[in-house]
A = this chain, B = another copy of it.
C-alpha cells in the first residue's frame, strides 16, 4: 500500500516552521539527509527513522561543498520523481522531502576582495566546488582528528564539506534523531563526534550496510559501473567478508588480513585507494594484532567509479 505523497519543501524558513510546529505538538522528528538517487540503503534509513520518531524528513540535496573540482559533482546521478516514488513505497512513507535549490545562496552579493570565497585556509589548499560559485561562504566545521585518515587522505575537502552541510541541515530541519548509513563509516563517526562536540540536540543512529543480492554495497554511484566492472567490484565485499571470518576465527594479524584484501581486489582489476583496519571508535589504524573491536574499511576504484565498503570485526 503506497503512502501519501510527501510534502515537498524547498524553502529553509518553511522547513523550520514545519519542524517547530511538529515539535510543539510533541512530535519527535526523524531526519535522513541524502543526495538523492535513492536506493534500498536509503529506504532502510527511512524505515529505521520511522522506528525512532513520529514524523520523518528526508532531504535531497547534492552538496557542492563536499566535492573537489576534480570529482564527480557534474555526473552525480539524480532522479527526483523516482526518489519520491521510492519514498512512498516505504511503509508509512515520509512526511516531508526537503529539496532546496542552493543552500549557499544567502541572497546577498558576496563582498570579498581577496577572492570570491573563503580560501579554504584551514586545509591549506583545500578547495571544493563551492568556492568557484562565489556566495561568500567561508565557515567550515571540521572534526580535526577523525577527518584526517582514510577517505580524508584522498578527498581532503570531503569531510569538511559533509560536517558543514550536515550542520546547516540540522539547523534548518531541527530534527531529534538523524540516521546515517554505516557504509560511510568514517562519515558516521565524524557526525557523531561533531554532534557531541557542538552540543547539537540530536541523536545520531548508524544503520547497517544494505547490499545487493550479489553482495555489492548499495551506492548511488553503482549506476556508473559497467556490467564488467560491477562483477569485478564484488571482490571488495567478498574479500572483506573472508577477512571478517578469518579475523573472528583467530587470524588476527592485521597486516596479513590487509594484504589478502588488497591482493584480491587488485587481481580482480580494482585499484585500491586504501584498505585499513581501524579502531571502531577512534578510527586509528591497527597495525599489528587485532585486540579490540575494529572495522575494516576499503576504498577502491573500478574504472572511473570509486567505491567504499567496510566490515565491522568484533573481538
Interface residues of A (CB under 8 A from B): 12, 16, 20, 23-24, 103, 106, 108, 111-114, 118-123, 137-146, 148, 163-164, 167-168, 171-172, 174, 193-194, 196-201, 279, 281-282, 284
Contacts and interface: CB of A to CB of B under 8 A. Distances in A.
Nearest to A196: B106
29 contacts: A16-B201, A20-B23, A23-B24, A24-B24, A106-B197, A111-B279, A111-B281, A112-B145, A113-B284, A114-B145, A118-B143, A121-B144, A121-B148, A122-B123, A122-B142, A137-B197, A138-B145, A138-B146, A138-B197, A139-B144, A139-B193, A139-B197, A140-B141, A140-B142, A141-B141, A142-B142, A168-B197, A168-B198, A171-B199
Contact of A199 (B146, B168, B194): B168
B143 A138 contact: yes
Contact of A144 (B113, B120, B171): B120
Contacts of A113: 282, 284
A103 B272 CA distance: 41
Given A140-B142, A193-B138, A114 B163 contact: no
A136 to B, nearest CB: 8
B118 A145 contact: yes
Contacts of A12: 199
A200 B172 CA distance: 8
Contacts of A16: 201
Contacts of A167: 198-199
Contacts of A103: 199
Given A139-B142, A196-B106, A199-B12, A284 B114 contact: yes
A199 to B, nearest CB: 4
Contacts of A168: 197-199
A198 B103 CA distance: 10
**Residue among A111, A145, A167 with the highest chain B CB neighbour number at 10 A:** A145
A141 B140 CA distance: 6
